[in-house]
Amino acid sequence: MSKKRILITGGAGFLGSHLCDRYIKEGYQVIAMDNLITGDLKNIEHLFKHPDFEFSHSDVSKFVHVPGKLDYILHFASPASPIDYLKIPIQTLKVGSLGTHNLLGLALAKKARILVASTSEVYGDPLVHPQVEEYYGNVDPVGPRGVYDEAKRFQEAMTMAYHTFHGLETRIIRIFNTYGPRMRLNDGRVLPAFIGQALRGEDLTVFGDGSQTRSFCYVDDLVEGIYRLLLSDYHLPVNIGNPDEITILQFAEEIVKLTGTTQKIIRKPLPVNDPKQRQPDISKAKTILKWEPKVNRAEGLKITYDYFKSLPKDVLFDRDHKNFEQYIK
């Protein structure tokens, strides 16, 4: 029997590279596609010699061509940190809209099942807590984060339209805060920011009073949820995340304890539209997918800390966010 063939967009990114690993392990033929705007070949170079792995350097917002049969598509191409979408807002909008349209068209042509990566950001700064899939959200479409939130909301709408109009097999996952090895150290998100500051001997920066909450899911748990959702027969959105909620201030204190740093926690003003609460209701994932997170935060943080600690000094001390000049046309 021939192996199943899967296309993973954003395959050189944090989540995409872990998905490449999982599907190779499960015996699939994997095509990783990435334009490397935020992805990094270092995340997948260990797979280059694998006979079932191939890499395509392509921008899905422009055109997608995959010769041969295709059974599944995972659309995970998108900038995903607030600094990214402030620096490359139009590219963020394009990959969620034009990129999604191109991949839905490819799925239709190939008769492939497609799973799109949506986000807890579709709930905006939520007024319902914890967030259930039926909640419509509280999003500012013209705020600085709107380019990401609305690209993902549009992506969900277009995916559902292809399902209802064309009968395409689609899956939608709403991903909550995820962490683990291969996160970009200087991408501006709270977990790598704290660990990077601790390793460099800098004070830890908390925005606002630190009372805003997040719920962190370890990457292996998330990948398991994606794997189960793709193979399920459920086409409506499903939250995947860890409901273990913590304030940012408590989280900073956990990082100080983990790293044994002597640095202080300092405060800066809260960014515009920063969500005050973020916690998934995972009842659907538990019922439909028989999924729930297994890795506790202490265990996951230790693995992630060890990964960051192993990075070369020049990477650790490179505080500059990625330069996007060559991608801005």
User: What gap in Å lies between CA 268 and CA 210, rounded to an integer?
Assistant: 10
User: What gap in Å lies between CA 217 and CA 232, rounded to an integer?
Assistant: 21
- Own/partner pairs, 286-292, CB within 8 angstroms, 24+ separation: 288/232, 288/234, 288/238, 289/225, 289/228, 289/229, 289/232, 289/234, 289/238, 290/228, 291/224, 291/225, 291/228, 291/240
167 φ/ψ sector (left φ>0, alpha ψ -120 to 50, else beta):
left
* Closest alpha carbon to 102 in 162, 175, 36, 31: 162
pLDDT digits (tens, 9 = 90+) for 253-304: 999 998 888 888 988 887 776 778 889 999 999 999 999 999 999 999 999 9
Q: Give the model's pLDDT for residue 17.
A: 98
Q: Give the model's pLDDT for residue 272.
A: 73
Q: Scanning the structure block, which residue is given the tokens 């700064």? A: 125
DSSP letter for each residue of 105-122: HHHHHHT-EEEEEEEGGG
User: What gap in Å lies between CA 161 and CA 328, rounded to an integer?
Assistant: 30
Average pLDDT over residues 16-20: 98
Positions marked catalytic? 148
90 CB-side CA count, 13 A: 4
User: What gap in Å lies between CA 138 and CA 127, rounded to an integer?
Assistant: 7
* Closest alpha carbon to 191 in 125, 118, 259: 259
Query: Which pair of structure tokens corresponds to residue 75?
Result: 């659309």
* Closest alpha carbon to 238 in 321, 164, 172, 159: 172
Q: Is the pLDDT of residue 319 over 70?
A: no
Domains of the chain, by residue range, sit at: 5-323
Q: Is the pLDDT of residue 194 over 80?
A: yes
Q: What share of the chain is helix, strand, coil (3-state, %, to 5)?
A: 40, 20, 40
Q: Give the model's pLDDT for residue 321.
A: 62
* Closest alpha carbon to 33 in 51, 5, 161: 5
Q: CA 223: distance to chain centroid?
A: 11
Average pLDDT over residues 237-242: 98
User: What gap in Å lies between CA 254 and CA 194, rounded to an integer?
Assistant: 10
Q: Give the model's pLDDT for residue 159.
A: 98
Q: Is the pLDDT of residue 99 over 80?
A: yes
Say if residues 10 and 80 touch (Cβ distance below 8 Å). Answer: no
Average pLDDT over residues 228-254: 96
Q: Give the number of other Cβ atoms within 10 Å of residue 16's Cβ.
A: 26
Distances (CA, A) of 251 to 92, 116, 316: 28, 30, 21
With a CB cutoff of 8 Å and minimum separation 6, the contacts of 46 are none
Tell me what the pLDDT averaged over the chain comes to. 93
User: What gap in Å lies between CA 187 and CA 38, rounded to an integer?
Assistant: 9
Q: What's the CATH superfamily of 5-323?
A: NAD(P)-binding Rossmann-like Domain (3.40.50.720)
With a CB cutoff of 8 Å and minimum separation 6, the contacts of 212 are 247, 248, 270, 274, 275, 276, 277
pLDDT digits (tens, 9 = 90+) for 119-151: 999 999 999 999 999 999 999 999 888 999 999
pTM: 0.95
* Pick from 15-24, 174-183, 199-208, 229-238: least confident: 199-208
Counting every residue written for the chain, the total comes to 329
DSSP 134: T
Q: Give the model's pLDDT for residue 82.
A: 85
Average pLDDT over residues 41-48: 98
User: What gap in Å lies between CA 156 and CA 163, rounded to an integer?
Assistant: 11
